[in-house]
């Protein structure tokens, strides 16, 4: 089978921001979402002999790709980045999170991420554990399906779609393929933004839900405060508004001094992060890789270590 290609979004911008802090090339860095290793390989090329890179990924195919990197400075962990907090406190010079789904995942019909291909309705990042989308839809109620599609897909037709899914299940059995789900959604959603497939928001919602992506992001962001050294960088690339909103609010929250209202004369607790920049892909990058068009990168720097 021909290998599926993946073009890393904001490759140089992300690595420049990550390794551009006070620890430069000699620190320990984390690629929290290895994917197909674009960021990891460039980070390794920037590190000195004393530098280290630890990567995380749930996907067994990503783990297999990571094993092709022969470098004593590099290690990979087969788990999600919610486990970031297991690293020693104040031990990391920079954390990079490239969120969302990689091109090989999207373009592999057997993974079930895309409505463009006919395949099993799976969508799990880690195919060795957990429930697939098809398995969940076979049991979920109308209210549960509505909530997921509404909250994670920001889909205004969530309720009609959920009712159609359950009605189909009762009449002909559960939905098991991407084509079946995309066709059902298209038959239910009568209007849609120009150029957007009617199933886009539903597929996004189910993927986010089945992988607990937003909860894991929130855990990983909090963990980053514990593992980053003073001066260490946090770099996060988001691909939709739900992710970016969480990242933005996290940085804003920790970029302020905190006062205890019960002790009005006590010194404020110092801020934990300093926002550095917000970066969007260039027009030339979007032209060469349309999947980059929605990307937003936010960069912040650790200011102190909590007791």
Mind listing the pLDDT tens digit for each residue in 124-142?
A: 989 888 999 999 999 999 9
Domain boundary among the residues 189, 210, 231 is at 210
Neighbours of 116 (CB within 10 A): 15
Residue 2 placed within a domain: no
Q: In whole angstroms, what is the distance from residue 75 CA to residue 55 CA?
A: 6
Is 111 a member of any domain?
A: no
Within a domain: residue 294? Answer: yes
The upper half-sphere exposure of residue 204, i.e. CA atoms within 13 Å in the direction of its Cβ, equals 21
Q: What is the span of the domain harbouring residue 134?
A: 126-210
Cβ within 8 Å of residue 69, ≥6 positions away:
37, 40, 41, 44, 76
- Has residue 113 been placed in a domain? no
pLDDT in tens, 252-298: 999 976 555 665 655 556 779 999 999 999 999 999 988 889 999 99
Are both 277 and 199 inside the same structural domain? no
Q: Is residue 138 part of a domain?
A: yes
Same-domain check for residues 240 and 201 = no
Give the total number of structural domains in the chain.
2
pLDDT at 261 (0 to 100): 62
Single out the residue in 210, 243, 275 at which a domain terminates: 210
- Domain contains 118: no
Angular region, 46: left φ>0, alpha ψ -120 to 50, beta rest: alpha
> Tokens in use for 3?
């290998």
Q: Are residues 93 and 177 in the same domain?
A: no
Domain end among 149, 180, 210? 210
Do the domain assignments include residue 276?
yes
The Cα 114–Cα 110 span in angstroms is: 10
- CATH code of the domain in which 135 resides: 1.10.150.170
d(CA 166, CA 175): 9
| 3-class SS of residue 186 | helix
Same domain, 45 and 194: no
Task: Tell me which residue of 168, 188, 164, 186 sits closest to 176, measured CA to CA.
Answer: 168
174 and 217 belong to one structural domain? no
Residues 15 and 97 in one domain: yes
Q: What is the pLDDT of residue 46?
A: 94
**Side-chain-side CA neighbours of residue 242 (13 Å):** 21
In this prediction, the residues of the chain whose per-residue pLDDT falls under 50 are 1-3, 306-307
Spatial CB neighbours of 250, under 8 Å, sequence gap ≥ 6: 218, 221, 222
- Predicted TM-score (pTM) of the model is 0.89
Q: Are residues 22 and 73 in the same domain?
A: yes
Q: Angle at the Cα of 170 (from 186 to 180), degrees rounded to 5? A: 30
Q: What is the pLDDT of residue 273?
A: 93
Same domain, 48 and 193: no
Q: In terms of domains, do 189 and 52 share one?
A: no
d(CA 206, CA 59): 17
Report how many helices (DSSP H) and strands (DSSP E) the chain contains, helices first.
Answer: 12, 7
State how far the alpha carbon of 150 is from the alpha carbons of 199, 282, 303, in Å.
13, 31, 37
What is the predicted pLDDT for the residue at 3? 45
> Is 92 a domain residue?
yes
- Report residue 123 as tokens: 């969508």
Same domain (yes/no): 43, 191: no
Does residue 220 share a domain with residue 85?
yes
- Residue 52 sits in a domain of what CATH number? 3.40.50.150
152/290 same-domain check: no
């Amino acid at each position: 089978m021909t290998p599926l290609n993946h073009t890393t979004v904001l490759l140089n911008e992300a690595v420049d921001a990550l390794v551009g802090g006070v620890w430069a090339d000699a620190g320990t860095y984390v690629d929290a979402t290895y994917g197909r290793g674009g960021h990891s390989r460039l980070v390794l090329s920037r590190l000195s002999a004393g530098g280290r890179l630890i990567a995380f990924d749930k996907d067994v195919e990503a783990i297999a790709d990571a094993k092709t990197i022969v470098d004593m400075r590099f290690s990979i962990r087969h788990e999600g980045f919610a486990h970031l907090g297991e690293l020693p406190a104040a031990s990391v010079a920079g954390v990079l999170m490239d969120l969302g789904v990689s091109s090989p995942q999207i373009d592999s019909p057997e993974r079930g991420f895309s409505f463009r291909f006919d395949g099993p309705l799976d969508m799990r990042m880690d195919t060795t554990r957990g429930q697939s989308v098809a398995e969940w839809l076979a049991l979920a109620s109308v209210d549960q399906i509505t909530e997921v599609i509404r909250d994670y897909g920001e889909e205004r037709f969530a309720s009609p779609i959920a009712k159609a899914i359950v009605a189909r299940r009762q009449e002909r059995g559960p939905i098991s393929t991407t084509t079946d789900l995309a066709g059902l959604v298209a038959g239910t959603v009568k209007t849609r933004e120009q150029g957007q497939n009617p199933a886009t928001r539903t597929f996004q919602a189910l993927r986010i839900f089945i992988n607990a992506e937003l909860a894991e992001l929130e855990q990983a962001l909090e963990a980053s405060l514990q593992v980053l050294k003073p001066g260490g960088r946090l770099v996060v690339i988001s691909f939709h508004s739900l992710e970016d909103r969480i990242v933005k609010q996290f940085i804003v929250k920790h970029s302020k001094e905190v006062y205890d209202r019960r002790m009005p004369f006590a010194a404020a607790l110092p801020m934990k992060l300093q926002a550095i920049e917000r970066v969007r892909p260039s027009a030339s990058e979007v032209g060469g890789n349309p999947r980059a068009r929605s990307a937003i990168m936010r960069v912040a720097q650790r200011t102190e270590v909590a007791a």
